[in-house]
A and B are shown apart, each in its own frame.
Chain A
């Protein structure tokens, strides 16, 4: 169906010309809807030198429903849930803000950008967001520490 045609094209484009610091592959060659994404922590951020595994799941209703993005690698970040799900909350991925003309590579680039510049006002982890705003030094220490422990 059209949905798969589009996913295949997007995957092809991402494999052929991957954005900076991002590589993608299918979690299972026979299933277009589950992707494994490897993301390098952006330079200059506390996640630098980290290599994060992200699970990208496309709903069967894609592209009319947004993909979901979750960190399989533990990460200390205001916009990623600090639990075993590691869900990343992106505005553009909310069902009512999602645009079927958005593409997965844009989602991934946006996610990587979010690592460099967290959005504390849109946080899912309020405590980390508070710390990011009020005690940036401590936040960066812990984030760097977690990156070293979990992402290398």
Chain B
């Protein structure tokens, strides 16, 4: 590819700075690869490019919300129902329905009139009924929910229901929120929460979670995509002290929310090859200031995170098996694991590898990416892999060969 002109660079910079959500698409999209987000930012600010690259690996799927002023509300509402369906527990759905309906008293307490709000509750109830039926019928996927949320009336009704509950909750618990608001709480509710297309802000989101979501035993985590330092989006758990059975994850870019889905722990991404390399070589960390893999709790919490974040965007070597070159076989004390091995542990259990790592020298910062030059797009590889003498002997480079 040709290097980008300064004008193009400027355009991409502008694109990332002033991200404007798509107002044409569906209200709620189908689940799609979050690789698209990485592509969107590939030529933008290096921090954003790095973070979205990592994101595509840690959270491989996303669901885009229409940026019509309701995206945050819609993302949480959809995530809530999607999670309830995914848990496939009919009695839980019934309990939730009863709990949500009992929250009508909140609206009554703040003077909302039932004959005005009941149609919103009806719509929510209808979604619950659809979920119950889907669980009972063994409906394979959540496309019925996507359809329901793309139906304007039902989508608006559920969102309005959740908005009114949030508003009532805030009015009944002003001490929890007033200090964080720049205007009187009643006014905030009237102009920011009870309206039809005012985007949710952090205080409103917290109140929505406190009132509607938390009681379901669901957690909400926001992953901030911003230009702060770091190589991964910054996660923030909204009710960190409560145990939850599942977590709704939101990707936040200024003014816009989408849903994110973490890599399934059962999906094996075969990090074995690079582990082997790291363990059998004398290396020096290529970026002294970087946070080591083992001291970054967010990365450590990701099951089977592979060493090279860009690796996950390439076809899996399991899908197109490669055999190690003779050179590797003769020099490495470790063989490349068979796929069966990979499912058990990222480190082959037959190899006494951990003991070979000197305590004083932490493992390399596996998630570091080389700094990007401005001369155009490039495939970001783990620097170790990019060393020419290694690229011949390490099978991990194979997926990148054209």
**Taking the complex as formed, is B112 at the interface, i.e. its CB lies under 8 A from any CB of chain A?**
yes
Evaluate whether A5 and B198 lie within 8 angstroms (CB atoms) in the complex, with A64-B156, A97-B191, A99-B190 already known: no
Are A101 and B116 closer than 8 Å at their CB atoms?
Answer: yes
B157: chain A residues at CB < 8 Å are 2
Are B115 and A9 closer than 8 Å at their CB atoms?
Answer: yes
Q: Which of A1-58 contact B (CB under 8 A)?
A: 1-3, 5-6, 9-10, 13
B160's nearest neighbour on chain A, judged by CB, is: A100
Are A10 and B119 closer than 8 Å at their CB atoms?
Answer: no
Across the interface, A100 reaches (CB within 8 A) one of B118, B190, B191, B196, namely B196
A12's nearest neighbour on chain B, judged by CB, is: B115
How near does chain B come to A107, taking the closest CB pair, in angstroms?
12
Q: Mark A89-107, 1 if CB is under 8 A from B, else 0.
A: 0000001111111010000
**Taking the complex as formed, is B7 at the interface, i.e. its CB lies under 8 A from any CB of chain A?**
no
B117's nearest neighbour on chain A, judged by CB, is: A101
How near does chain A come to B121, taking the closest CB pair, in angstroms?
10
Are A64 and B194 closer than 8 Å at their CB atoms?
Answer: no
How near does chain B come to A14, taking the closest CB pair, in angstroms?
12
Are B115 and A13 closer than 8 Å at their CB atoms?
Answer: yes
Q: Which of B175-207 contact A (CB under 8 A)?
A: 190-191, 194-198
How near does chain B come to A143, taking the closest CB pair, in angstroms?
31
Are B196 and A98 closer than 8 Å at their CB atoms?
Answer: yes
Q: Which of A84-125 contact B (CB under 8 A)?
A: 95-101, 103
Are A1 and B197 closer than 8 Å at their CB atoms?
Answer: no
Q: Mark B119-151, 1 if CB is under 8 A from A, else 0.
A: 110110000000000000000000000000000
Evaluate whether A2 and B122 lie within 8 angstroms (CB atoms) in the complex, with A9-B115, A103-B116 already known: yes
Are A2 and B196 closer than 8 Å at their CB atoms?
Answer: no
A2's nearest neighbour on chain B, judged by CB, is: B119
B156: chain A residues at CB < 8 Å are 61, 64, 100
Are B119 and A95 closer than 8 Å at their CB atoms?
Answer: no
Interface size on A, residues (CB 8 A): 20
Distance A85 CA – B194 CA, assembled complex (angstroms): 30
A10: chain B residues at CB < 8 Å are 115-116
How near does chain A come to B170, taking the closest CB pair, in angstroms?
14
Evaluate whether A6 and B198 lie within 8 angstroms (CB atoms) in the complex, with A64-B160, A101-B112 already known: no
Are B122 and A99 closer than 8 Å at their CB atoms?
Answer: no
Distance A103 CA – B116 CA, assembled complex (angstroms): 7
Distance A10 CA – B152 CA, assembled complex (angstroms): 22
B197: chain A residues at CB < 8 Å are 95-96
Across the interface, A64 reaches (CB within 8 A) one of B112, B113, B196, namely B196
**Taking the complex as formed, is B164 at the interface, i.e. its CB lies under 8 A from any CB of chain A?**
yes
Distance A103 CA – B118 CA, assembled complex (angstroms): 13
B191: chain A residues at CB < 8 Å are 97
How near does chain B come to A30, taking the closest CB pair, in angstroms?
21
Distance A2 CA – B151 CA, assembled complex (angstroms): 13
Distance A63 CA – B164 CA, assembled complex (angstroms): 14
Across the interface, A96 reaches (CB within 8 A) one of B115, B116, B195, namely B195
Distance A98 CA – B156 CA, assembled complex (angstroms): 14
Max count, chain B CB within 10 A of own CB: residue among A2, A6, A10? A2
How near does chain A come to B381, taking the closest CB pair, in angstroms?
48
B122: chain A residues at CB < 8 Å are 2
Are A5 and B194 closer than 8 Å at their CB atoms?
Answer: no
Distance A13 CA – B114 CA, assembled complex (angstroms): 13
Are A103 and B113 closer than 8 Å at their CB atoms?
Answer: yes
A5: chain B residues at CB < 8 Å are 119
Are B164 and A101 closer than 8 Å at their CB atoms?
Answer: yes
Are B112 and A95 closer than 8 Å at their CB atoms?
Answer: no
B123's nearest neighbour on chain A, judged by CB, is: A2
Evaluate whether A95 and B117 lie within 8 angstroms (CB atoms) in the complex, with A101-B112, A101-B164 already known: no
B190: chain A residues at CB < 8 Å are 99
A61: chain B residues at CB < 8 Å are 152, 156
Are A1 and B153 closer than 8 Å at their CB atoms?
Answer: yes
How near does chain A come to B26, taking the closest CB pair, in angstroms?
17
A101: chain B residues at CB < 8 Å are 112, 116-117, 160, 164, 194
In the assembled complex, 19 residue pairs joining A and B whose CB atoms fall closer than 8 Å, in A order, are: A2-B119, A2-B153, A5-B119, A6-B118, A10-B116, A61-B152, A61-B156, A64-B160, A65-B196, A95-B196, A95-B197, A96-B196, A96-B198, A99-B196, A100-B120, A100-B156, A101-B117, A101-B160, A101-B194
Residues of A within 8 A of B (CB): 1-3, 5-6, 9-10, 13, 61, 63-65, 95-101, 103
**Top 4 A-B pairs, shortest CB-CB distance:** A2-B119, A99-B194, A9-B115, A64-B156
